[in-house]
Chain A
Amino acid sequence: EADICQTPRYLVIGTGKKITLECSQTMGHDKMYWYQQDPGMELHLIHYSYGVNSTEKGDLSSESTVSRIRTEHFPLTLESARPSHTSQYLCASSGISVRDRGIYEQYFGPGTRLTVT
């Protein structure tokens, strides 16, 4: 199993605050992703990175920004949190699957549940 850590696991914050959600992986994976997921809904890709100094926006428009200064670290930042940002944020990385050789597997972190009041 991949080892992907996300902190904090839960965050309740007031409107207008700046927050950074942390994500780190120890597998040396080049590709990393951020997804947003609301209850009962599908995951939506909001950011991805092919490697250091590479970041791209995903399918779902997001006011958040990301950075990739180190391979293992892919933090997500909201400059001014709003109630509409309340959601679960999942970080993932991908690498060759150990179980299904030759196929890229996505490994997910435990998620950060963000509530903006």
Chain B
Amino acid sequence: KNQVEQSPQSLIILEGKNCTLQCNYTVSPFSNLRWYKQDTGRGPVSLTIMTFSENTKSNGRYTATLDADTKQSSLHITASQLSDSASYICVVSDRGSTLGRLYFGRGTQLTVWP
């Protein structure tokens, strides 16, 4: 069964600190892995997309890593800000589908305190 599991389910950190969110997946075949940020009451916004051949990709203070062998990814947030408070969703796309089927994790709810 194709699945995407994220940990932790929720996380509280102080402003300025770093944090790392984890994503494990069993989706096969694999096309790419995406990290989205979803603010409360809003739609998800893409942070990074990584293909099979990419190990790391950055977008500002967000750095995603991918280990396609162990089927694990992480999202590292540097120098957190209050605006980073959101749900971070890991999404995996399979290969061979014209729709580009997406498998969604349940997200990690990050809260940044001042």
Give residues in A with beta carbon < 8 Å to B. Answer: 1, 4, 31, 40-45, 48, 50, 90, 92, 94, 97, 99-100, 103-111, 113
Contact = CB atoms under 8 A, between A and B. Distances in A.
A40 B106 contact: yes
Given A31-B99, A103-B49, A103-B51, A90 B43 contact: yes
A41 B41 CA distance: 14
Contacts of A42: 4, 89, 104-107
B51 A111 contact: no
B45 interface: yes
A94 B4 CA distance: 21
Contacts, number: 51
Nearest to A6: B43
Interface of B: 4, 9, 32, 41-46, 49, 51, 89, 98-100, 102, 104-107, 109
**Residue of A41, A44, A90, A106 contacting most chain B CB atoms (<10 Å):** A106
A2 to B, nearest CB: 10
Given A105-B49, A109-B43, 4 more contacts: A4-B43, A44-B104, A48-B99, A92-B43
